Structure 1
């Protein structure tokens, strides 16, 4: 069915090369190609509809294929761009990938290589689209949770908080975050108590003491943006999963920064830096 086809423009100024690419894609039966001969024509096509992928020759009349690649990367992020060209130049290849290319196929085309490159590009495109959709969902969730957090931490507007108030805020924070198994109320309370102990040993004032105790309860608030499959995985994380997990420091900081509350401002710093290490081996910045 036509609805199952991937729509792909072919940008090639050579008539024979353009026809060859059209024939290769058409014979697969799962692609619908649109053949154009210039960057200007390609831009018009892209403005009329979104495409799954685009095949671009490097050497084109007027604007180059690299110029078009940069345009696609900037304005059509859901379109996977593949360079198809006779220019087998290492610097040009590096420039293409740096400009957002999903693949680079050199003439004369080997049909299998071209189709595999296209399939890989479409698969990567799908993964990236899912990732962006997931991040948008997380950002919306952060907005909702931020409101809940601010309501939970409203008692912090006073100067010193009575110890009972501290415990109450921590319990309410635990409920507001609705986070997973390791972030129980007991976990939040333990982190707060350890932080208070360190603040005391560092000679901070009683007022600063209270702020540290409460702000430290926010250290892992960014984990609301970590998928359950990663956060609750029983075994070791892959390199990619670890990278996703480590983003909780940045998300927590983003959630808490720019607040009028001194405690939330301190919480933003703690959320960002609580995985840094004295020897610079921590994250996200590698402070030492």
Structure 2
């Protein structure tokens, strides 16, 4: 059935989400026989037109799945688009001989892509990184029946159901309760609210001219002291110390031992004594 939209328009919801959903709803659902025939053409003959028809006829299911994630505060069009990516991955891997409908096979791929998108974009600071944390994140969201914090019995029930410790549930709940804050505040904030922006109370001391001048003076003074301390060493000790610590291409004990015709242990002793003399001179 024609919808008036091109295939690429179906995969990427535009600004008018309602028009997109209406367009998808006009695409006919495949029968079992039609689906099996198209899947066979794709799987065995790499028929791209068959792949297109399989994807298009299942876009309505992606919308249905994406709507179940509307509570995360992310644009529905983005959730649908990510779900469509999962659908295309599923179609590419679908084997018609397995004996299941495509949607049953594809639901895992659709949800996986949506989950990844939510975890990447729900917070600036990631709330879940490991597989176990991701499972807890989505299960905890669905387990909470109200906006208030879970009580002890509810925490214990969730922990038992998911096979984790109670403190792990508490930690994830705390992460999920955190909110992102704009560093410079929000456009339109009045004077009573503007002071709450982090830019008003977080100070970057690195930009303080006095601190920068102090650090530069300390650096110059330290370098001067180091040069004076090195000048007090004999030529061999100074050479060993410089080549072991003050160059990018540092020499090894064995290399210096071969050059000076002494043992590596003797080089180590000379290095240690030179370090003591330099330290004592700089602290004097």
Tell me if both proteins adopt one fold, taking TM over 0.5 as the criterion. Answer: no
Report the TM-score, using the length of structure 1 for normalisation. Answer: 0.24
| Structure (1/2) with the larger strand percentage | 1
Report the TM-score, using the length of structure 2 for normalisation. Answer: 0.24
| Structure (1/2) with the larger helix percentage | 2
